[in-house]
Structure 1
Amino acid sequence: MTDTTTFPDPTYRDTVLAPLFEGVKAHFAADMARINRAHLVMLAETGILQPSKAVDLARALHRIETEVDIPALTYTGEHEDYFFLVEAELKRRLGDLGGALHTARSRNDMDHTLFKLALQPRAEAMLDALRGLADALIEKANTEAETLVVAYTHGQPAQPTTFGHYLAAAIEVLLRDIARLEQAMDGLDHCPMGAAAITTSGFPVDRHRVAELLGFSEPLLNSYGCIASVDYVTGLYSALKLPFLHLGRLIQDMAFWSSFEVGQLYVPNALVQISSIMPQKRNPVPIEHMRHLASVTAGRCDTIVNTMHNTPFTDMNDSEGEVQQAGFAAFDSGGRVIALLTAFLPACSINADRVQANTDAACITITELADTLVRDEGLSFRQAHEVAAATARAVIAAGQPLRAGYSAFAEAFCAETGQPTTLGEAAFADAVSASSFVEKRNRPGGPAPEALETALTGYASTLSRFSETALARKRRRAGADRALDTAFAKLMES
């Protein structure tokens, strides 16, 4: 049977090739030009290409970059993709020499290099934003170090702590999330160029030189892995998902804390919307937007990771253009969450009256009363727990705050132990004071001012180290850009 069809089939053109072409225009064309330049410099420096041929190619590449209006290009199907369009332009200007640029490389190693180059600035921007959030939370935690709040467990009032102590817990998780993203950055910092299709090349390529010119720390070693091991994708999006999963829990607490029934978090008017029909409503809807955007971001990360599931361990389109572009949306929605949360939390404040009312209503300092009975009265903790529980039941039934429950306590103590308490009213009042509760918890990681100050100082130091690492990485890449420009300009002038 004679096949009279010609490539590309119109449907394949419109559903696959044209969208991919548009994606390259939007996201990858500039980095493809960098790869072309770096590869050509290496070919010339290693003698793989004769100097005169390298000069002609350099000048032609420069003219193409200058003369071709990439945004105005429309996919016609004349060339399979943007790579072949550039090669066709080289051949049109230089004849057969135009095909020499592709010596000792493949679209396989080029593609994964392109994808890493496109992910690097997005990941750096996300790290910048997360460090900015961490810095804002550290500042807020220092400001709110002595601001009492009700801490909840299982959705119920549990114990007093401070807003600063609560934020410190979130800061620790955020710093660990930043560390995981930093580790994922290492996967983006190793260059696939020189792997060619699968097994490197018979030409004496200098893989380190290309990696250096493109701003990578070094080549990715195994050439098969360069085109098959897409763990730089799965590792990055796995790490990217976690801040939004974890921050989503913090955001949900903000919804609970700002509810009418709890009311301990005050959201300022600038971040509150009204109801179109109910004039009494104050709706802190930014919380809802942060919550759903965090979930959308986590879902987008899962989409990319799950697309890699059960794919063959080889070069494949499942990890390439369309999937890479889909992943960029996670950075967009995630960036919006971080920007909004960085503005939102510092603007909020704690409603001290509601904290006091909830503290009184729920007897949340009762744990310290039990602890005091163990220390000062010599009771076992179980005995102390029974006395404290009876006291709490009595004051709650009477509608009294715990600080007014000394007589109920004395009665419960005598009923449990058969003797009167030696704890006076002043000592009782201190034992059930929320501020005293916090001050006594000066163990490492506790909410007392000294312990919290030590922790926050440590967090700031960790954050500073992350910033220094990122700055060094950015300086290296900026230096590589300058080195590539210099080497390419020198080549053109030879």
Structure 2
Amino acid sequence: MIDHSKFPDPVYKETVLAPLFDAVKAHYADHMGAINRAHLVMLAETQILSSEQASAIANALVDIEAQIDVEKQVYTGEHEDYFFLIEAELRQRLGDLGGSLHTARSRNDMDHTLFKFALQSRAEAMMGQLQGLAAALIDKARQEAKTPIVAYTHGQPAQPSTFGHYLASVIEVLLRDCARLDAAIVGLDHCPMGAAAITTSGFPIDRQRVSDLLGFSAPLRNSYGCIASVDYITGLYSALKLVFLHLGRVVQDMAFWSSFEVSQLYVPNALVQISSIMPQKRNPVPIEHMRHLASISVGRCDMMVNIMHNTPYTDMNDSEGEVQQAGYAVFESGGRMIALLGAFLPACSINVERVHTNADSACITITELADTLVRLEKLSFRQAHEIAAETAKAVIAENKPLREGFVSFCRAFETEVGRSSRLGKEAFSQAVAIETFVAVRDRFGGPAPHALVDAFEAYQGDLARLVANKNARQKRRSTAQENLKKAFSNLLEI
């Protein structure tokens, strides 16, 4: 069969090739320039190309960058993609020598290096946002270390704690999520260059040198894995998914706490919208936006991981241009969610009066009454629990706060034990006070002030280590940029 068709098919051009070309302009052109310069330096240093050849190519690259406005380029189909456009420009200036820049490399190793570059910058920016959120929450938790709240289990009032203690829990999860993201960023930090198509090259290339010049921590060792493994994608988006899944749960609490019936959380006017018809409404709408932005981000992360499911272990477009670009939306929606949460939580406050009202209505300090009876009266916890339960039932039935339930307590104690309690009225009131409940829980991880001070110091240390990791990576990459600039400039002067 004689095939008279000519590449590219117009539909293929419009549906695939042109959008991919535009994506390169938007996301990868600068990174491709860096790869070209680093690879050329390596070819010269290993004498795969002579100094004169490398110098000619270096000057041509500078000429191309000066003459071609990347933003104004439109895909015509004359060249398959942006890579071949640059190579055509080199060959136009240098003849056959223009094709020598591609010695010992492939679009395969180049593409995955480009994708890692694009993900590094986005992931580091998000890491910076999360570290900023963690720092803001630590500051807020310190301020609220003694502010009482009602803690809920199964949607019901359970025990008193403090807003600082609650936020400390959020901070711990956030820092663990940051540690997972930090590890995923390390997975982006190994350079595929030198793998070529699959199996490296018969030329004496120096993979370490290219990796160093591009700011990676090291080359990715196995050349097959450089172009086939996608765990740098699945690992990153899995780590990101957990960030938004976990933050979304906190946002859901904020919705519950700020409801009219609970009113434990006060959302300031700056973060409240009104109803167009109901003048009494104070709608904390940012909560809903944070919740759906978190959910959108989780869904987008799932999309990226699921795209890789049941794909072959090889170089494939399923992990490349369009897929990579789709994943960048996670950083857009997720970045907005983190920024909004970072403004929202520090601005909110606890309605302490309502906390006490709810605490009184639900007898949430009753556990400490049982504990006090175990310590003071030497009862078993189960026996003390029964007395406390009867006391709570009585005061709730009488619609009065627990602190006014001394008579009910005495009656329940005598019924259960057969004698009067040694716990006097004043001691009873102290035992069922929120302040007492919190203060006596001065254990590792508890809500008491001393325990929280130790926790905050630990969080600051964890955060400092994450910040140091990020700064070290940034310093290495900045140094690499300077080294590449110098090494490439040396080629221009030959």
Deviation string for 1:46-75 (max 9, x for gaps)?
Answer: 000011111110000011111101111111
Is 1:161 the counterpart of 2:164 in the alignment?
no
Shift of 1:400: 0.4
* Aligned counterparts of 1:72 and 1:426: Cα–Cα separation in 2: 81
The 5 A counterparts of 1:317-396 are 317-396=317-396
* Aligned counterparts of 1:347 and 1:67: Cα–Cα separation in 2: 51
The 5 A counterparts of 1:156-195 are 156-195=156-195
**What is the aligned partner in structure 1 of residue 97 from structure 2?**
97
Deviation string for 1:396-451 (max 9, x for gaps)?
Answer: 11110000000000000011111111110111011100011000000100000000
Q: TM-score, normalised by structure 2?
A: 1.00
Is 1:11 the counterpart of 2:28 in the alignment?
no
Deviation string for 1:326-371 (max 9, x for gaps)?
Answer: 0100011111011111111000000011101000000000000001
Shift of 1:379: 1.1
Shift of 1:36: 0.3
* Aligned counterparts of 1:203 and 1:388: Cα–Cα separation in 2: 81
Deviation string for 1:137-182 (max 9, x for gaps)?
Answer: 0000000000000000000000000000000000000000000001
Deviation string for 1:90-143 (max 9, x for gaps)?
Answer: 111111111000000000000000000111110100100000000000000000
- Letter of the structure 2 residue corresponding to residue 258 of structure 1: S
Q: Secondary structure at the match of 1:7?
A: coil
**What is the aligned partner in structure 2 of residue 492 from structure 1?**
492
* Aligned counterparts of 1:276 and 1:93: Cα–Cα separation in 2: 66
Percent identity reads: 70
Shift of 1:211: 0.2
* Aligned counterparts of 1:203 and 1:132: Cα–Cα separation in 2: 46
* Aligned counterparts of 2:258 and 2:484: Cα–Cα separation in 1: 54
Shift of 1:17: 0.4
* Aligned counterparts of 2:41 and 2:250: Cα–Cα separation in 1: 50
* Aligned counterparts of 2:45 and 2:260: Cα–Cα separation in 1: 71
Q: Secondary structure at the match of 1:250?
A: helix
Shift of 1:457: 0.7
Deviation string for 1:178-230 (max 9, x for gaps)?
Answer: 00001011111000000000000000000000000000011000000000011
**What is the aligned partner in structure 2 of residue 284 from structure 1?**
284
Is 1:122 the counterpart of 2:84 in the alignment?
no
**What is the aligned partner in structure 2 of residue 230 from structure 1?**
230
Is 1:45 the counterpart of 2:39 in the alignment?
no
Deviation string for 1:26-57 (max 9, x for gaps)?
Answer: 00011000000000000001000011111110
Q: Secondary structure at the match of 1:221?
A: coil
Q: Secondary structure at the match of 1:374?
A: helix
Q: What are the ranges of 5 or more consecutive residues in structure 2 without an aligned counterpart? A: none
* Aligned counterparts of 1:277 and 1:50: Cα–Cα separation in 2: 78
* Aligned counterparts of 1:187 and 1:323: Cα–Cα separation in 2: 18
Is 1:443 the counterpart of 2:443 in the alignment?
yes
Q: Secondary structure at the match of 2:447?
A: coil
Shift of 1:291: 0.4
**What is the aligned partner in structure 2 of residue 36 from structure 1?**
36
**What is the aligned partner in structure 2 of residue 465 from structure 1?**
465
**What is the aligned partner in structure 1 of residue 272 from structure 2?**
272
Deviation string for 1:244-279 (max 9, x for gaps)?
Answer: 000000000000000000001000000000001100
- Letter of the structure 2 residue corresponding to residue 307 of structure 1: I
**What is the aligned partner in structure 2 of residue 141 from structure 1?**
141
Q: Secondary structure at the match of 2:281?
A: coil
Is 1:452 the counterpart of 2:459 in the alignment?
no
**What is the aligned partner in structure 2 of residue 257 from structure 1?**
257
* Aligned counterparts of 2:171 and 2:372: Cα–Cα separation in 1: 31
Is 1:482 the counterpart of 2:476 in the alignment?
no
- Letter of the structure 2 residue corresponding to residue 233 of structure 1: I
* Aligned counterparts of 2:469 and 2:326: Cα–Cα separation in 1: 28
Deviation string for 1:456-477 (max 9, x for gaps)?
Answer: 1100111011111111110110
**What is the aligned partner in structure 2 of residue 27 from structure 1?**
27
Q: Secondary structure at the match of 2:126?
A: helix
- Letter of the structure 2 residue corresponding to residue 394 of structure 1: A
* Aligned counterparts of 2:381 and 2:406: Cα–Cα separation in 1: 19
Q: Secondary structure at the match of 2:328?
A: helix
How many residue pairs are counted as aligned between the two chains?
A: 494
**What is the aligned partner in structure 2 of residue 212 from structure 1?**
212
* Aligned counterparts of 2:67 and 2:256: Cα–Cα separation in 1: 58
Q: Secondary structure at the match of 1:275?
A: coil
**What is the aligned partner in structure 2 of residue 58 from structure 1?**
58
**What is the aligned partner in structure 1 of residue 304 from structure 2?**
304
Q: What are the ranges of 5 or more consecutive residues in structure 1 without an aligned counterpart? A: none
Between 1:260-269 and 1:412-421, the stretch displaced more is: 412-421
* Aligned counterparts of 2:252 and 2:125: Cα–Cα separation in 1: 25
* Aligned counterparts of 1:225 and 1:461: Cα–Cα separation in 2: 36
Q: Secondary structure at the match of 2:360?
A: helix
* Aligned counterparts of 1:253 and 1:384: Cα–Cα separation in 2: 32
- Letter of the structure 1 residue corresponding to residue 272 of structure 2: V
* Aligned counterparts of 2:51 and 2:128: Cα–Cα separation in 1: 42
* Aligned counterparts of 2:145 and 2:249: Cα–Cα separation in 1: 21
- Letter of the structure 1 residue corresponding to residue 125 of structure 2: A
* Aligned counterparts of 2:447 and 2:477: Cα–Cα separation in 1: 42
- Letter of the structure 2 residue corresponding to residue 31 of structure 1: H
Q: Secondary structure at the match of 1:245?
A: helix
**What is the aligned partner in structure 1 of residue 406 from structure 2?**
406
* Aligned counterparts of 2:453 and 2:263: Cα–Cα separation in 1: 27
**What is the aligned partner in structure 1 of residue 79 from structure 2?**
79
- Letter of the structure 2 residue corresponding to residue 353 of structure 1: E
Q: Secondary structure at the match of 2:161?
A: strand
Q: Secondary structure at the match of 1:196?
A: coil
- Letter of the structure 1 residue corresponding to residue 103 of structure 2: T
